[in-house]
Amino acid sequence: MALNKIEQYLIDLMVSYREIGKNMWLLDDAEHGLEAAVIVYDDPLVVFQITVMEAPQERRLELFTKLLELNAQDILHGAYALEENKVILIDTLEYAGMDFTEFRATLDAFGLALTQHYPILSPFRA
């Protein structure tokens, strides 16, 4: 069952999480740099998402250009995106082919990006 595979990986990684809905988990793990990350299983995909910041009204073009540059040069798994007025990190994996290494790599990439990119993105915070 899908729940068991995703939850087992979270347990194996010792990531703090809680189930917030059917096929939905909220990670709340500052130690791993994953505060308020959400994982959703929507057959056949597993979607990883974390809100990075509100998109500012000023300097938007500069911010979006920087995010595209980071996507091209410095993101190993996933990408920055815009959802409504929020900058998010998002990645999707196919559930059937997803293994522990790939799952861990996505979470590690999110934590690393949030840590390394904070000094770059923080000047854009409103």
Torsion of CA 26, 32, 35, 36, to 10 degrees: -30
- pLDDT (tens digit, 9 = 90+) per residue, 57-69? 999 999 999 999 9
More confident position, 29 or 59: 59
Q: Which amino acid is at 37?
A: A
Domain boundaries, the chain: 2-124
**CA–CA separation, 106 vs 101, rounded Å?**
9
What average pLDDT does range 69-76 have in this prediction? 93
CATH number of 2-124: 3.30.1460.10
